[in-house]
Structure 1
């Protein structure tokens, strides 16, 4: 059976607009492939671009060994970031989402294009203008997060919004695997993470992304941002919750509040 990319993209778009999750794609499509799932994602992104939104970067998911084991996969996935996804005032509304969660990450801003295959960590660092701390709000248009790898890929890697920190650092001057982060929810430290927790190095995540994009003849452009993967477990978000990722003096604090 041929997968109808437009039909499934439309279902995901409708779920997002109505805030009403759908059944997993993998429940209905036994022959769904990784390529099909990414093509569904691209169909959705193309529709949003046609509506006037701009692609501003990419996000990387499933970078930790724990998450890969949970979904029984051996590599990360990625999604697109759009101009309507950045929260510039560090405040967002719970009503925008189905079941949001928050993750803390290191974000890379590019000063030069990158296109795979065979891009190395050194080339990533050379092409990076600066890094900042970030928070990503992830959400799933699949009902109750009942996802497998192909479901989250098709759903733009479960992306929703993101917040960027103000402290910028030259990636070449930072020991990226040794970056440390304390993650707080409503003033209580819930977990911690380090740069080495995402494929050993956040820049390695970016290299993986650029090389994976080459399969679709896509590259990264100067000025784009890349969220390199969660340094610790995602935290569920409800109305009234405040999340703070504290990267210390290196990258400062990044905050988001749900009202």
Structure 2
């Protein structure tokens, strides 16, 4: 793609946020689209959001489960940006109508106390950069019709980002085994999923290291105070008006999102 085409696609994706009208899969519309095209389209959208007054408050990692990687035929994750207006307070009403096709998934969020910049970041360096961890719910959303996505579609669409709800119980990263931290995921009081941190690339820490090194190679630093969502511990669940979701993590507490 040339710059003009990338800009056109970025504009179409941004317009979908406002119109609530999803697009057909990008890879079926733009023949020859590449990984570099997709990340460039994502960044063009972020640049426009920043120019409009938004700020980057972190990053998310997607495609961290073996099942999702097999589904999309990939062998590594992808990433997207978290902006300030993505963050919602737990228990406070979240309007479903602000999304196109929302789904919810539980995660263990990292909050950084110092910057991380790759390449070359190691596991112990990443651990030293973490201030604390929090239970979290990510609201994933797709601007692609019916979630008919491939790798390039989701990357261009900011890794299918929607919103974030963080819990209120910070825990020191050395106080919990991130691999074994189990989660129970409830929708309206009914269990809709269970999992553990080990479902995320073997450990959420591996996801943080991957992210720091991957964005570092593109000149991006994970900043102090930023939130990193490393990936879901179980499958996502669809959202409807009136739903309440709660994820409870062993050793980390719980987090609740309520939709209206």
Pairwise TM-score range, normalised by the shorter structure? over 0.9
Corresponding residue for residue 74 of structure 2: 73
Residue in structure 1 matched with residue 206 of structure 2 by the alignment: 204
Q: Indicate the residue corresponding to 1:57 in structure 2.
A: 58
Which moved further from structure 2: 117-126 or 133-142?
117-126
Pairs within 5 Å for 1:6-85: 6-85=7-86
**SS at the partner of 2:88?**
coil
Correspondence 1:112-127 to 2 at 5 A: 112-127=114-129
Partners of 2:103 and 2:24 lie apart in 1 by 19
- Aligned equivalent of 1:141: 143
Greater shift in the superposed pair: 27-36 or 77-86: 27-36
For normalisation by structure 2, the TM-score amounts to: 0.97
Cα-Cα RMSD: 1.0
- The DSSP-based 3-state class of the residue aligned with 1:216 is coil
Q: Is the 8 A contact 1:165 1:251 kept in 2?
A: no
The answer on 1:183 being equivalent to 2:194 is: no
Structure 1: runs of 5+ lacking an equivalent: none
1:226-257 CA distance string (max 9 Å, x none): 01100000001111111110114x11111111
State the Cα distance separating 1:153 from its structure 2 match.
0.2
CA contact (8 A) 1:79 1:156 kept: yes
Deviations 1:204-230 (A, max 9, x none): 101001111023111111111101100
The Cα of 1:30 is off from its aligned counterpart by 2.1
Aligned length, in residue pairs = 258
Residues 67-107 of structure 1: CA deviation (Å, up to 9, x unaligned) = 11111111111100001010024331111011100010000
Is 1:99–2:104 an aligned residue pair? no
- Is 57-66 or 209-218 further displaced after alignment? 209-218
- Structure 2's unaligned 5+ residue stretches are none
The residue aligned with 1:258 is: 259
The equivalent residue for 2:154 is 152
CA distance in 2, matches of 1:174, 1:253: 14
Q: 2:216 aligns with which of 214, 217, 229?
A: 214
Residue of structure 1 equivalent to 2:164:
162
Question: Following superposition, which runs of at least 4 residues in structure 1 exceed 4 angstroms of deviation?
Answer: none
* SS at 1:114 equivalent: coil
TM-score normalized by the length of structure 1? 0.97
